[in-house]
Amino acid sequence: MLFSANFISPIEYKIGMAQTVTISKQEFDSMKETLDIFSDSGLVKDIKEGIEDIRKGKSISLNEYLDR
């Protein structure tokens, strides 16, 4: 998941048999975004291909791209 060090740790509550976890809105939004990304199989495929391209050295720097 995509998390930042700025997130506050979740808070767990247990009342009898019921359990809840409270998280920040920022962390919740980040989790939703991550789920949206991973639920799109085409996007996941594109990300994996991009990572593989980087591993194979098939990438350029931002400056090289901007100089085009």
| Structure confidence by residue, pLDDT tens digits, 5-58 | 565 677 888 888 888 989 999 999 999 999 999 999 999 999 999 999 999 999
Kindly state whether residue 61 falls inside one of the protein's structural domains.
yes
Long-range contact pairs involving 8-14 (C-beta distance under 8 Å, separation at least 24) = none
Name the residue range of residue 52's domain: 11-66
Q: In the chain, how many domains are there? A: 1
Rounded to whole angstroms, the maximal C-alpha distance in the chain is 63
Domain annotation covers residue 50 = yes
Does 2 score more than 80 pLDDT?
no
**pTM exceeds 0.85, yes or no:** no
Round the CA-based radius of gyration of the chain to a whole number and report it.
19
Q: Which pLDDT score is estimated for 15? A: 83
Residue 60 covered by a domain: yes
- The whole-number pLDDT of residue 32 equals 96
- What does the block give as tokens for 10? 């979740």
Position 2 in a domain: no
CB 1 within 8 A of CB 34: yes
In a domain, 21, yes or no: yes
